[in-house]
Structure 1
Amino acid sequence: MQSLSLAPAGEFSGVQFVLTDMDETLTYQGRLAASTYDALERLQAAGVRVMPVTAAPAGWGDQMARMWPVDGVIAENGGIFMRRDAQGHGVERSWWADEADVTPMRNRLASIAARVASAVPDARVADDQVFRLASLAWQRTGTSRDGQIVAALRAAGAETAVNNLWVLGWLGGYDKLSMSLRVLTDAYGVAPATAAEVVAYSGDSTNDAPMFGYFRHTVGVSTVVDCLPQLPVAPRWVTAGPGGAGFVEFANAILRARGV
């Protein structure tokens, strides 16, 4: 992992898509800066397709897909993809699960949540759980409680991840990478082998590991150093700034490489 400032001038000239984590990658301390929003808009204006890929709830993703300068949003760690419809006011949704399996999946998640509540009675459900459609989330504490929630989820047959905000559980065997590759293929006609070369990804957390391992152009915002011991593959570059400031650095490097 090297400082992004050392990247050769043309390093990102072939980038056609920017996929990015949201929490503490686009945001910093929970806030989205105007400069970060502007960077998203400048990337789009330059012809780069932009897509947040986040563990955040579908409810947040719906709002982003409707109103942000993005081409779509993958929410809930890969559980659902949303993009603005042709009229510009509605949202099209694609689930990882088959449509017929969505209701049974949600019923099973409710059962799993009850099992976790019984096994870890002091676990605090994330305050955004009401906006989730395909996953479960508990507030991360950085204590042994997080591990207890993970153990309870796995015992119930759920997939798990821990990021900088939440302990997450879901069903279906997907992650950020598998849904991203599906969306790139189905929605944009980009085969996985091609995607590895034309996608740039930015993130900051352990659930970004599959993305860091697959794509050629990867950057961690500066706070990624906090989770490097848990990352099997580090991002190729690291920014000087944290959160959205780091994302702006990455966006500027891509735009410079495109002559913008």
Structure 2
Amino acid sequence: MLNLSLAPLLQFSTVRFVLTDMDETLTYRGRLHADTYTALERLQTHGICVVPVTAAPAGWCDQMARMWPVDGVIAENGGLFLRRSPDGHRVERHYWHPSEGFADVRKRLHVISKIVERAVPQARPADDQVFRLTSLAYSRTGTEVDDRIVDALIGAGADATINNLWVLGWIGGYDKLSMSLRVLAETFEIDAAAATQLVAYSGDSTNDAPMFRFFKHTVGVSTVVDYLPQLPVPPQWITNSPGGAGFVEFADAILKSRSNEAHEMPSESVIHPFSSAKRTSREQR
């Protein structure tokens, strides 16, 4: 893991998609700063597709998909993908689970939550649980209680992980990576092999591990050092700053690579394969 400032000028010249964690990667201490929001918009303006991939609840992500300068949002650690409709006034939702089985998923999650409550009386549902559709979230305590919640979730038949805010549980065997690869293939027609070169990912904690392991271009904001013992593969690069300020460093590095690529290549060569689709999408909005 090297400091991002040491990256060669053309390190990110192949990047056409930025996938990014949200909490404490785009935000810092729970707040989204103007510079970070502007960085998302700058990436889009320069033809980069931007998709937050977060454990945050569907309710938060619905608003992000509608109003932020992004090309969609993967919510609840991979449980669903939300994307602004072509008319700009609705959000299309694509769940990991088939729609006909979604009611059963909700019932199973309810049963699992009761098992966790009995096994770990100290477990407290996250204050955003009411906005979740495909997952369970418990407030972190920073103690052994968190590990006991994970054990209870797994014992009840759920998948589980911990990030910087929550202990998370869900069913279906997916994670951030598997849903990201599905979205890239089905929405953007990018297969897994191509994605390793075309996608850059930024994150900060344990549930980002599959993304750090798979993609070539990975960046951890500075606070990722707190989670390195839980990451089998660290990110390739690390920023100087935490949270959104670190993401701005990441966006600047990508755009600098694109700028230097443009100077070294004929002008017609820098129009990437998604540029016409992006223009059409913007016109529809």
Same fold (TM over 0.5): yes
Q: CA deviation at 1:121?
A: 1.1
RMSD (Å), alpha carbons: 0.7
2:79 aligned residue: 79
1:70 aligned residue: 70
Q: Which amino acid aligns with 2:19?
A: L
1:101 aligned residue: 101
Q: How many residues align?
A: 260
- Between the aligned partners of 1:215 and 1:150, the Cα distance in structure 2 is 26
Which sections of structure 1, spanning at least 5 residues, go unmatched? none
Q: CA deviation at 1:119?
A: 1.0
- Between the aligned partners of 1:157 and 1:122, the Cα distance in structure 2 is 20
Post-superposition Cα deviations, 1:164-195, rounded to whole Å, max 9, x if no partner, equal 00000000000000000000000000000000
- Between the aligned partners of 2:253 and 2:42, the Cα distance in structure 1 is 12
Q: Which amino acid aligns with 1:190?
A: I
- Superposition pairs of residues 29-44 of structure 1, within 5 angstroms: 29-44=29-44
- Between the aligned partners of 1:79 and 1:37, the Cα distance in structure 2 is 24
Q: Which amino acid aligns with 1:49?
A: C
- Between the aligned partners of 2:100 and 2:172, the Cα distance in structure 1 is 14
2:228 aligned residue: 228
- Between the aligned partners of 1:212 and 1:119, the Cα distance in structure 2 is 32
Q: Which amino acid aligns with 1:148?
A: R
- The percent identity for this pair of structures is 67
1:137 aligned residue: 137
- Superposition pairs of residues 111-260 of structure 1, within 5 angstroms: 111-259=111-259
- Between the aligned partners of 2:108 and 2:174, the Cα distance in structure 1 is 16
1:16 aligned residue: 16
Q: CA deviation at 1:122?
A: 1.5
- Between the aligned partners of 1:136 and 1:101, the Cα distance in structure 2 is 18
- Between the aligned partners of 1:149 and 1:214, the Cα distance in structure 2 is 28
- Between the aligned partners of 2:83 and 2:54, the Cα distance in structure 1 is 14
Post-superposition Cα deviations, 1:105-128, rounded to whole Å, max 9, x if no partner, equal 001000100111111112111000
Q: What TM-score, normalized to structure 2?
A: 0.91
Q: Which consecutive segments of 4 or more residues in structure 1 shift more than 3 A?
A: none
Q: CA deviation at 1:249?
A: 0.1
Of stretches 68-77 and 113-122 in structure 1, the one that deviates more from structure 2 is 113-122
Q: CA deviation at 1:43?
A: 0.1
Q: CA deviation at 1:22?
A: 0.2
Of stretches 113-122 and 90-99 in structure 1, the one that deviates more from structure 2 is 113-122
Partner SS, residue 25 of structure 1: coil
Which of 1 and 2 has greater Rg? 2
- Between the aligned partners of 1:35 and 1:43, the Cα distance in structure 2 is 12
- Between the aligned partners of 1:89 and 1:195, the Cα distance in structure 2 is 30
Which sections of structure 2, spanning at least 5 residues, go unmatched? 261-285
